[in-house]
């Protein structure tokens, strides 16, 4: 990896991945971060990297749906490796408005694959970052493995499933060197507060309602974001071309339990204390349509074949995450007020 194109690098996982590569690994090459800076892309997530790593970190504002914008980047920056995070990522938004999900997640991925095919001679790897949601919903028992059949239930997961199939097809048909990873729910620093954990932390800090969908007993399998980053790096370094790898932390948890843990943690550490327990802010609200009941990942393959193991337990990861939000109130304020979006508008003109 000498010239790595990271798409969606200004979002939650992408920004953690870029920082992880530059600061915590033996990666010596150059990163080109291609991001459209939608509402979920925040330059503040990577502030200062251009100065700390001159010439090794470059930011380009572009839309993967525009072939004209992205094709020259492959040529000009001599891209040899792609790590593709860019996506519309929030299930609730996909239910309200699926169109952007179809465009970015399917057409955008197709455009990147076409660029990689065009510059095939340079390309050593196209890594596609995907989700466990492509497998649908589990009953009480069982785990998703790499051979579980696809059964996506939301426009988001259907668009990600579609992109996975395209990536696989480019391996089979064009012999493009690809890998795919399907990961469970991530949490950690810089996650946009539309997702469960940051939303609950931020609402609990401001003592506002904590919305829990349905009966709160839906189960997700949580992984600390840095563990996801280390798994992706390992797949990129050592994964077999054409293969998919499931990534998960073996941390199944009901939503309501997570909300309670966050309430209790903040009750015990926050000053001034609330006059009542934060659990009293919990409000059961209308369920998400088509809400998947349970996700759980079997990550035996990546553990056995590549030797990957997560470093954080749910307890240590959640504590680190809550502490990060407590210590970064400025980031929260900018995200909540949309201040970073005005900065983007000033820097780059109105959103594209």
Catalytic residues: 132-133, 156
Applying CB under 6 A, does 179 fall inside the site for ligand NAD?
Answer: no
Among 107, 143, 196, 322, binds ligand DAU (CB under 6 A): 196
Applying CB under 6 A, does 89 fall inside the site for ligand NAD?
Answer: yes
Between 5 and 24, how does the x/- string for binding to ligand NAD read (CB under 6 A)? --xx-xxxxx----------
Alpha-carbon span 228 to 233, nearest angstrom: 9
SS (H, E, C) the chain: CCEEEEECCCCHHHHHHHHHHHHHCCCCCEEEEEECCCCCCCHHHHCCHHHHCCCCEEEEECCCCCHHHHHHHHHHCCCCEEEECCCCCCHHHHHHCCHHHHHHHHHHHHHHHHHHHHCCCCCCEEEEEEEHHHHCCCCCCCCECCCCCCCCCCHHHHHHHHHHHHHHHHHHHHCCCEEEEEECEEECCCCCCCCHHHHHHHHHHCCCCEEEECCCCCEEEEEEHHHHHHHHHHHHHHCCCCCEEEECCCCEEEHHHHHHHHHHHHHHHCCCCCCCCHHHHEEEECCCCCCCCECCECCHHHHHHHCCCCCCCHHHHHHHHHHHHHHCHHHHHHHHHCHHHHHHHHHHCCCC
Residue closer to ligand NAD by CB (options 185, 321) is 185
Minimum Å distance from CB 218 to ligand DAU? 4
Residue closer to ligand DAU by CB (options 143, 196) is 196
Residue closer to ligand DAU by CB (options 123, 210) is 210
CA distances from 130 to 121, 172, 176, 241, 338 (A): 25, 18, 18, 16, 28
CB of 223 within 8 A of CB of 181? Answer: no
Applying CB under 6 A, does 133 fall inside the site for ligand DAU?
Answer: yes
**352 Cβ contact list (under 8 Å, min separation 6):** 36, 61, 63
Minimum Å distance from CB 167 to ligand DAU? 16
Minimum Å distance from CB 327 to ligand NAD? 20
Among 3, 218, 244, 299, binds ligand DAU (CB under 6 A): 218
Residues 221-260 that bind ligand DAU (CB under 6 A): 255
Q: Report which residue's Cβ sits closest to ligand DAU.
A: 131
Pairing of the two strands 252-254 and 219-224:
antiparallel
Q: Report which residue's Cβ sits closest to ligand NAD.
A: 11
Q: Binding residues for ligand DAU, how many (CB under 6 A)?
A: 19
Applying CB under 6 A, does 248 fall inside the site for ligand NAD?
Answer: no
Applying CB under 6 A, does 192 fall inside the site for ligand DAU?
Answer: no
Among 79, 82, 125, 129, binds ligand NAD (CB under 6 A): 129
Residue closer to ligand DAU by CB (options 7, 184) is 184
Tokens of 314: 């749910």
Residue closer to ligand NAD by CB (options 180, 204) is 180
* Other C-beta atoms lying within 10 Å of the C-beta of residue 309: 12
Contact range with ligand NAD by CB under 6 A, out of 34-42, 111-119, 234-242, 281-289: 34-42
Contact range with ligand DAU by CB under 6 A, out of 26-34, 129-137, 165-173, 246-254: 129-137
Residue closer to ligand NAD by CB (options 5, 281) is 5
Among 5, 43, 46, 63, binds ligand NAD (CB under 6 A): 63
Contact range with ligand NAD by CB under 6 A, out of 29-37, 165-173, 286-294, 297-305: 29-37
- Positions in the binding site for ligand NAD (CB under 6 A): 7-8, 10-14, 35-38, 40-41, 63-65, 85-89, 104, 108, 129-131, 160, 183, 185-186, 192
- Positions in the binding site for ligand DAU (CB under 6 A): 89-91, 131-133, 184-185, 195-196, 199, 211-213, 218, 220, 255, 288, 295
């Amino acid at each position: 990896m000498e010239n790595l194109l990271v798409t969606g690098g200004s979002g939650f996982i992408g920004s953690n991945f870029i920082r992880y590569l530059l600061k915590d690994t033996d990666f010596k090459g150059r990163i080109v971060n291609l991001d459209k800076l939608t509402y979920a892309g925040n330059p503040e997530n990577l502030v200062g990297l251009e100065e700390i790593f001159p010439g090794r970190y470059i930011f380009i504002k572009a839309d993967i749906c525009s072939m004209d914008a992205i094709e020259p980047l492959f040529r000009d920056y001599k891209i040899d490796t792609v790590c593709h995070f860019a996506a519309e990522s929030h299930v609730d938004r996909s239910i309200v408005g699926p169109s952007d999900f179809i465009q970015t997640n399917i057409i955008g991925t197709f455009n990147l694959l076409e660029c990689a095919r065009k510059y095939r001679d340079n390309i050593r790897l196209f890594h596609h970052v995907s989700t466990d949601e492509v497998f649908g919903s589990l009953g009480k028992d069982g785990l998703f493995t790499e051979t579980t059949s696809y059964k996506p239930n939301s426009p988001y997961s259907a668009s990600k499933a579609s992109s996975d199939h395209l990536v696989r097809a480019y391996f089979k048909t064009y012999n493009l060197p690809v890998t795919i990873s399907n990961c469970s729910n991530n949490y950690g620093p810089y996650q946009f507060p539309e997702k469960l954990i940051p939303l609950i932390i931020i609402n609990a800090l401001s003592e506002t309602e904590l919305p829990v969908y349905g009966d709160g007993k839906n189960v997700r399998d949580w992984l600390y974001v840095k563990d996801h980053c280390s798994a992706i790096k390992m797949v990129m370094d050592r994964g077999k071309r054409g293969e998919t790898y499931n990534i998960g932390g073996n941390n199944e948890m009901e939503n309501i339990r997570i909300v309670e843990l966050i309430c209790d943690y903040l009750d015990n550490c926050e000053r001034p204390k609330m006059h009542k327990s934060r659990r009293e802010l919990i409000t059961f609200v209308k369920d998400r349509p088509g809400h998947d009941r349970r996700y759980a990942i079997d990550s035996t393959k990546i553990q056995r074949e590549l030797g990957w193991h997560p470093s954080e337990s749910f307890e240590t990861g959640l504590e680190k995450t809550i502490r990060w939000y407590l210590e970064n109130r400025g980031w929260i304020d900018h995200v909540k007020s949309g201040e970073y979006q005005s900065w983007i508008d000033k820097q780059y003109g109105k959103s594209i």
